[in-house]
Amino acid sequence: MTQSEAPAAEILVVDNDPAHAEVVQEALQRSGYRVTTAHSGRQAVELLKQRHFDVVITDLVMNDLDGMEVLKQAKELDPDIEVILLTGHGTIESAVQAMQQGAFNYLLKPLDVKQLRAVAAKAVENVQLRRTNVELARRLDERFGFEGIVGTSSKMRQVIELVKRIAPTDVRVLITGETGTGKELIAKAIHQNSPRKKKPFLALNCASFMENILDVELFGSVAGIYTDARDRPGKFEFANGGTLFLDEIGDMPLATQSKLLRVLETGEVLRVGANEPIKVDVRVLSATNQNLKELVAQGKFRQDLYHRIAVVEVHLPPLRQRQEDIPLLIDHFLKMFNRRHKKHVRRVSPAVRSRLMKYPWPGNVRELANVIERMVVVDADGVLDVDDLPPELAEQTPEPESAQPGDSLSALVGKPLEELERLFIAETLKYTGGNREEAARLLGIGERTLYRKIHKYQLH
């Protein structure tokens, strides 16, 4: 076991007998693990809800919740966790049964410390390996590719379709949309799905530099210009063969715009202060949250450059115009931040979902991500409820449904039960943005049953 390579594994030892728990704890601590003990099944489950563990070692026979139940709940909270059972000769059969339920192994009492350490080491290795693989797969599909772009609204489907078609070409794309709508995410997806994906993707924010510095950043400079003692390549040269993403291009000064236009027309850059141009092969993607056509009309943006950089325009609609995507994004960020912060938030209450659906999201997806992250980090009980909401969302007027459920119901008296079912299913589907899996979960029925009812009531 090489404890020094990975962060120390977290082990939870559960035993009704505190003295025995302590013996196990000491044996494992000497192997370099971080060990916590619980003296009842109930206490163990509480700890599992609050904190992250890699391996649970639990006595099988205990007087409140037994080892089987600890196993079940531990796996439910974290499917990657490994559970080892401690059992006497009399209960070997149950231990074997536990292994069929997903336990990693069992150890016979009285314990053999060497064996305990060996089995624990193997379990830890398993968990860490699995977590690394999951993490790698996640990074690959979350950062890049179209899977990282969440959204099934017709507006987002159109965007993704367009992006898929233009990504493999060399066409220059202007990505527009309000702040936080995912412009950079789209730019990366375009690069990642183009033949240039093995070459660099570089981003430059045109709003963060003074004019002179921006020129040097983009095109480079020769020794003696400004304070540089040496020649300096710019982003165009660094991105050679790949993609350069020019963010907030609407803020680019007119003089720099002329230089950029020349690069796009000739395929050559001239470092600031140099005489000899350098050939570059760079695909340029740009983004702005301003209206470039208006800037052109005002004389602040060159029309010829506009046509050069915006061969195709991809517009990202603000989140408030694609509310159907909100439930999906909530679940996406919940998973992401649970993992990132090692938390176990399982649910978002319907009241919170409904607030999140109705909020206008001036900061768009970025703001939604921040709100979910904040709630996940401070949550204590595994459920995001109204009192976990940040102030800007909590101050909305309360939902009528939570205020007076009786009122709206009595208005429906006189309708046949089937009609109520139809209305209710339709309403739930609307709420989940047409997501059937989520709707079935909320309704407490199987997906197939829901499917049948959708057919029956023609709710497509």
Ligand X SMILES: Nc1ncnc2c1ncn2[C@@H]1O[C@H](COP(=O)(O)OP(=O)(O)OP(=O)(O)O)[C@@H](O)[C@H]1O
List contacts with ligand X (CB under 6 A). 149-151, 177, 179-185, 289, 332, 365-366, 369
Residue nearest to ligand X (CB): 182
- Crossing angle of helices 325-341/113-143, nearest 10°? 140
Residue 40 interacting entry, from Mg ion, ligand X, none, C-beta within 5 to 8 Å by type: none
SS3 38: strand
- Which of these segments, 183-191, 310-318, 345-353, 438-446, binds Mg ion (CB under 5 A)? 183-191
| CB of residue 177 to ligand X, shortest distance in Å | 6
Q: Which stretch binds Mg ion (CB under 5 A): 182-190, 235-243, 327-335, 392-400?
A: 182-190
Smaller CB separation from ligand X, 83 or 159: 159
Give least dist CB 338 to ligand X, A.
16
Residue 436 in contact with residue 447, Cβ under 8 Å?
Answer: yes
* Cβ nearer to ligand X, comparing 83 with 316: 316
**How far apart are the C-alpha atoms of 298 and 173, rounded to whole Å?**
22
Angle between helices 18-29 and 113-143 (to 10 degrees): 70
DSSP letter for 298, please: T
Q: Provide the residue type at 246 as one letter.
A: L
Least distance (Å) between residue 333 CB and Mg ion: 17
Q: If binding is defined by CB under 5 A, does position 125 make contact with Mg ion?
A: no
- Residue 33 to residue 288: CA distance in whole angstroms: 50
Of 29, 77, 87, 122, give the one whose Cα is nearest residue 11: 29
Query: In this chain, which stretch among 165-173, 180-188, 192-200, 215-223 interacts with Mg ion, using CB under 5 A?
Result: 180-188
Q: Which does 177 bind (CB under 5 to 8 A by kind): Mg ion, ligand X, none?
A: ligand X
Distance of closest approach, residue 118 Cβ to ligand X, in angstroms = 43
Q: From the CB of 184, what's the least distance to ligand X, in Å? A: 4
Nearest CB to ligand X, comparing residues 294 and 407: 294
CA trace torsion 376, 380, 383, 389 (10° rounding): -60
Minimal distance, residue 287 CB to Mg ion, in Å: 6
Which among 215, 184, 176 is positioned nearest to 316, based on CA atoms?
176
Peptide bond into 110 cis (omega under 30): yes
Residue ranges that bind Mg ion, judged by CB under 5 A: 184
